[in-house]
A and B are shown apart, each in its own frame.
Chain A
């Protein structure tokens, strides 16, 4: 959450592995012109596009846009219908070239407790909560 208690968000870049896992290498912020409220976050599209382009042009051909992340102002990390609509749209969009995006939701309570959940999206099937874990 940002200082005003509003949601924050961004995109994720990393690698789709052959074993059906995704390794996230970097996460962007929402950008200077992002809109943010206590119930939603709309990233600065131009800023984020530049952020992705800059990283994908460094010569690592396997590096991809892999999905999105955002925060929730509670420990309820279930995706909202806006989240689902957004990620399903990305999965089916030709612009993103990403038919299986993931979404990471970071829930933060008033008592500073935290919970992280991850979800997999794909065309023609309901989203599914999946495991997540750090690489040591």
Chain B
């Protein structure tokens, strides 16, 4: 077996030397070494105000050290002598943070900015372990980073997604929550959707349903789950079958005044409720969940507490009541129910918060914050358009309005963000369904009309948005868009793949400021003084470009990789423009293959940008001959 010991013998020698010199109370485990594992067991000494304390640990180097760090596990007992093949490590689990469910201490968090080649040594880990023991003993166990939340210290048995409703500050004290089974294999290895939550223990009972945000991203989830949550919260028994079959689970939740330490059993959970001053609600819960307690293997509790960065955080836990569910109801007295819960071990449900601010956290500082207020029209949702739409909602666009008259063909899936499951759907709708799954907080609307049916339809596609991106690559549509957009003063970006996707053109038209499509067509025809610009703008088509037709629509062969690149460049240009206030550059050319004789596209993988001004006599975008009318007085208008 290849391990770090065989790969890096010098490092192995140094590690042993350091550990055995600095920690003489740790004994090398020869039984472990026989199996190729460097492992120590013994005591580390920690000096505190009450004198020196000894802590039993097992210290193990992983096979892939130094890429993985050695693990310290506090243990109840140590082996007496070597060899000790029958000795089992029994972890000592403390009610403290920085200790994972298996007992291992989490002492050093991954640091993406660590210098390349820097190694964290075994002695560094042991020094951290000493600090952890000291902190636990003195009650000063520090919080870990915000990312390493409380559930990371517990055994995870399921996942639950919760929408913004679960964070509503109007939900006071506590109550019941409902979650719907989405998918899973095996017992509790499941994924749930938070359906609804209510504050039943508060004087003011508030009910919040997550259907509005979560229904669209999960179109395959049974509709009756959403109805069930509302119905059950009103005391109806109409959906009891869903509870019986664990399709819907319900649990009790409470607001806690501060973040708890990781609970280890049912008793810890009830203590948290007591400490928060809600002892009186425990009896209510035991009664409300009596059928679950008497029959099911697990019951569910959840705690909402202040997040370290503001707002709320959640801990969802399942209390293991028995080895397997009972077939029959068991009538239990109140104290029996309480004992059953207190004695149960617990598992955590990993909570996945779906809130706008956490969803776009990974964009922070990299996309303009004003994007969440921007409405963007997307004309065309083919391979290029759908990629652009996808990136726009991922960046956090406030709204994306998608217009496309075509239907998804199976062949589209090879370049489109939607797959073959979308065959026969309108392309705009198929794109919208994908976009919603990436950002349900973006207002996504679709239009399936042919934009050339009427100028009113075309105008309505542009008028509500702050800017438009056209990817139709259809001369007629884009010319009409240009005319309408310049007339009503709307900014449009036109993105198009050229030369079978090997090259791309993106240009922006802010009416009156940038060259419009008509101006560009004019420049492309010019010679003389405009020759340089004309040559730059004219990108010759590749003679090898393959043109096919499907249902009468022309299809130019190009790869999804080419189109994604052009889509990414388009969105990046739009985002940078929004961030920087729309700079001078308004025309960009790009190529991955050299275009012989072209002044800009003779260099590959370079984005070439320039500013192209409006043609002064352009009938579409130049100023009209009369710019303003002044009636000399109101009387002229109203008399």
Contact = CB atoms under 8 A, between A and B. Distances in A.
B627 interface: yes
Interface string A73-87: 000000000000000
Q: How large is the interface on B (under 10, 10 to 19, 20 to 34, 35 or more residues)?
A: 10 to 19
Nearest to B626: A120
A104 B630 contact: no
A16 interface: yes
A125 B632 contact: no
Interface in A22-44: 22-27
A19 B623 CA distance: 12
B630 A22 contact: yes
Interface string B595-639: 000000000000000000000000110011111111111101101
A125 B630 contact: no
Contacts of B630: 21-24, 132-135
Contacts of A131: 627-629
B618 to A, nearest CB: 9
Interface residues of A, number: 34
Given A124-B619, A128-B487, A135 B627 contact: no
A20 B637 contact: no
A12 B270 CA distance: 84
Nearest to B484: A126
Contact of B626 (A21, A26, A106, A124): A21
Given A20-B626, A27-B637, A120-B626, A125 B620 contact: yes
Contacts, number: 88
Given A116-B637, A125-B619, A135 B628 contact: no
A124 B622 CA distance: 13
A133 B628 contact: yes
Given A126-B487, A126-B619, A128-B487, A120 B631 contact: no
A99 B626 CA distance: 11
B149 interface: no
Nearest to B619: A125
Interface string A99-136: 11010101000000000101010101111111111110
Interface of B: 483, 487, 619-620, 623-634, 636-637, 639
26 contacts: A19-B627, A20-B628, A22-B626, A22-B629, A24-B630, A24-B631, A25-B632, A25-B636, A99-B625, A124-B619, A125-B619, A125-B624, A126-B620, A127-B624, A128-B624, A130-B627, A130-B628, A130-B629, A131-B627, A131-B629, A132-B630, A132-B631, A133-B628, A134-B630, A134-B633, A135-B633
